[in-house]
Amino acid sequence: MESLAIAGFGKLGSAIARGAIDAGVMRAQDIVVWARSEARRAQARAWGLTLADWPDLAGRAPRLLLALKPQVFAGMTDPRPALAQDAVVISVMGGWSAIDIGRRLGTRRVIRAMPNVAASVGASVTALASDAQAAPEAMAFAQRLFAAVGKVVAMPESDFDTATAVGASGVGFACLFVEALEQAAQQAGMDAAAAREMAVGAISGAASCLRTGQVSPDELRRQVTSPAGTTAAGLQTLEDGQLAQLVQKAVDAARARASELGRTSA
């Protein structure tokens, strides 16, 4: 029997498999995958993974990673697939609570995780539900699995809509900010390639400094803001435009949508 079954081998399922193999958390021969498209199946074969059909896959390993589109999960679990004995289910699906996943699969051992797209480059921040009804060994496995694609932050599942809004949708928000910086640079006459480099560099530079843990966002902002200087002038404009309040509204909207999707999924 394989150690990990992965249902759904799209962007996230494949990124987690790749990260786990590269980090030495899993061996390719211990992973079995269900993938819908031939292109994804070919990818899995090329990496040395085993392929299985759904619903057989569900019973193939003591750990089942659900990386399916949320909207196909209900259809794929009717009729209910048989899980391996004492199997633990780990889900990265948005919109499906542990309890609803468990109801559909007939188990209480469900762990929820919410990574982000940067899992594909080993730089995700993954929310991991700390209140899951799974054994400590299964939780430890989930920790290792997601640590292979970035950082892991344990939190109660009740925080997941917020984690989705800030950690996963937040990538989109950050990209909008980069696009706006780029556009402003081009507006001022800079060529597109240079504008992209400068805008991405500002954001990745800030992130790299913050990642050292030696400086907080507030401290770093103060460090680059001399009185009456250029940053101060720009920040004042952002404050006048109520950037913080706007971000609050964006997070609230994303949280509300996450909670709505949760209600319609079940």
**Hey, what long-range contacts does 231-234 have (CB within 8 A, 24 or more apart)?**
none
Give the containing element (helix H, strand E) for 53. none
Binding residue (CB under 6 A) for ligand NAP from 3, 28, 30, 36 = 36
> What's the rounded Cα separation, in Å, for the pair 143 and 155?
12
In the complex, what is the shortest distance from the CB of residue 261 to ligand NAP, in angstroms, rounded to a whole number? 9
Q: Which residue is nearest to ligand NAP (CB)?
A: 10
Backbone phi and psi for residue 91, each to the nearest 5 degrees, phi listed first: -115, 135
Nearer to ligand NAP, 37 or 231 (CB): 37
Q: How many CA atoms lie within 13 A of 184 on its CB side?
A: 9
Contact stretch for ligand NAP (CB under 6 A) within 90-98, 148-156, 195-203, 250-258 = 90-98
Alpha carbon of 132 to those of 6, 24, 112, 115, 155: distances in Å? 19, 25, 7, 16, 10
Is 125 one of the binding residues for ligand NAP (CB under 6 A)?
no
In the 8-state DSSP scheme, what is residue 82?
Answer: P
Q: Which helix (H) or strand (E) holds 179?
A: helix 169-187
- Is 25 or 168 the residue whose CB approaches ligand NAP more closely? 168
Q: Maximum CA pair distance of the chain?
A: 66
- Under the binding rule (CB under 6 A), the answer on residue 17 touching ligand NAP is no
* Contact call for residue 97 and ligand NAP (CB under 6 A): no
* Residue 79 to residue 58: CA distance in whole angstroms: 12
Q: Is 245 exposed, middle or buried (0-12, 13-18, 19+ CB in 10 A)?
A: exposed
Specify the stretch interacting with ligand NAP by CB under 6 A; choose among 31-39, 81-89, 136-144, 192-200: 31-39
Binding-site member from 45, 69, 80, 263 for ligand NAP (CB under 6 A):
69
Q: How far is the CB of 40 from ligand NAP (least distance, A)?
A: 4
Provide, rounded to whole angstroms, the least separation between the CB of residue 76 and ligand NAP: 7
207 binds ligand NAP (CB under 6 A): no
For ligand NAP, the closer of residues 184 and 253 by Cβ is 253
List of residues contacting ligand NAP (CB under 6 A)? 8-13, 35-37, 40, 67-70, 72, 92-94, 114-117, 168
